[in-house]
Amino acid sequence: MARTVYDAMGGMPVVLALARAWHARVLADPVVAHAFHRPVHPRHDERLAAYWAEQLGGPATFTGSTGAHASVVAVHSGNGPHDEMDARAVACFELALDDAAVPDDDALRATLTLWFTWATQVLNHEYETVESIPADLPMPVWTWDGPPPGPRAPAASSADDHRHDEDQRDRREGEDGHGHPQDPRDRG
């Protein structure tokens, strides 16, 4: 069996370190921190790491014990466009790769950045309303070949081709990019 992106990163210890590093960076960012204006779950970083790990080919810990992908999409949907926040969230993610000691492998890091950018789009903007999200929405699993078939799959095969693809960004309807579930009732 081929090694998953999750395995290439170093498994859960590195995914957890990445979730913690990204969360610290977005909290320090004056634009992205807005998304975290409410108190977060006491185990936010662990839950985020489980969610990310599952999307990267790791164990189904998030959907097995924490929650459903549809519930995460629901708390991120309907927030409208915020391109600057999205771009800064991705930049925080790229910097967090070093903070978390993700292996210095260009293909791995490009794949992770493409995944994070894609996941942000799908998570935040695939559904305009909470009511339009299917309750049984499956967890998407990103592989070395990219996303599963379905929403917003990038056209090219190389992660480097999409890293900062302005055409792809222009197709977005606006996205949250903060990777943190918010209460869907808290939309001003």
Any idea where the domains of the chain sit in the sequence? 5-171
pLDDT of residue 131: 87
* Residues lower than pLDDT 70 in the chain: 1-2, 124, 150-188
pLDDT of residue 151: 55
pLDDT of residue 5: 98
Structure token pair of residue 160 = 């480097």
- Predicted TM-score (pTM) of the model is 0.76
Residue 153: Cβ within 10 Å count:
12
Structure token pair of residue 155 = 């056209």
The beta-carbon contacts of 129-133 under 8 Å, at least 24 apart in sequence, are 129/77, 129/78, 130/74, 130/77, 130/78, 130/184, 133/70, 133/73, 133/74, 133/77
Report how far residue 51's alpha carbon sits from residue 66's, in angstroms, rounded to the nearest whole number. 9
pLDDT of residue 2: 60
Residue 143: Cβ within 10 Å count:
14
Rg of the chain over all Cα atoms, to the nearest angstrom? 15
Residue 169: C-alpha distances to residues 83, 156, 163 (Å): 8, 15, 10
pLDDT of residue 128: 79
Domain 5-171 has CATH 1.10.490.10: yes
Residue 86: Cβ within 10 Å count:
24
Question: What letters, b where the CB count within 10 A reaches 16 and e where it falls short, cover 89-107?
Answer: bbbbbbebbeebebeeeee
pLDDT of residue 20: 98
